[in-house]
Structure 1
Amino acid sequence: MTVEQAMAAYMQEMCTSRSPKTLEWHHTSLRALRRYLWRQYHLTDVRHLSRDCLQTWVADLHLVPSVRTGATRTVSTVSAYARSARAFCN
């Protein structure tokens, strides 16, 4: 299964129990993760997703400007992105 397919399945599963705003937040966070995994590792297969990849992504989040706003992310935004990734991986 690809990372994109796994994320789509996760989001579909959440549609029944989460608010639209929560879904939007998870979508934004996971889209950023998917872009990072492709740019840094050319990772597409969810089986190759590792703890090291995720830890590096979280560490780099405050350094890389947001695609949408161009601003660097705050500590609270980085924490929220990390929570989304953790929920997806669980």
Structure 2
Amino acid sequence: MNTIPLEHFLFVAAALFSIGLAITVTKRHFIGMLLGIELMLNAVNLNLIAFSRHDPERLGGQLFALFVIVVAAAEVTVALAIILRVYGHFQTVDPDKVSEMKK
């Protein structure tokens, strides 16, 4: 049986995390930042599952990945609610244009 080496998983996860970090830093609206954070969380999940394959007797990696997925779903729900409230008040989702929050 051909198995994929751990280094390939780590390379893909590092690339996903880097892309997510670049998106989070460069995007000028809240939705883009949220997408970048989700990419970074998916990279963490990929690492957890990849390392969990080394010890099939324990399910720690899968359980932590499931926990990260639940936290990510809650984070998206709260973030989207906040974004909708900010948009309703300021009529923009650009963090630089929300001037009242700078003080």
Question: Is the shorter-chain TM-score for this pair beyond 0.5, marking a shared fold?
Answer: no
Which TM-score bucket, shorter chain as reference? 0.3 to 0.5
TM-score (norm 2): 0.34
User: Which structure has the higher relative contact order (CA within 8 Å, separation 6+)?
Assistant: 1
TM-score (norm 1): 0.38
Larger fraction in helix: 2
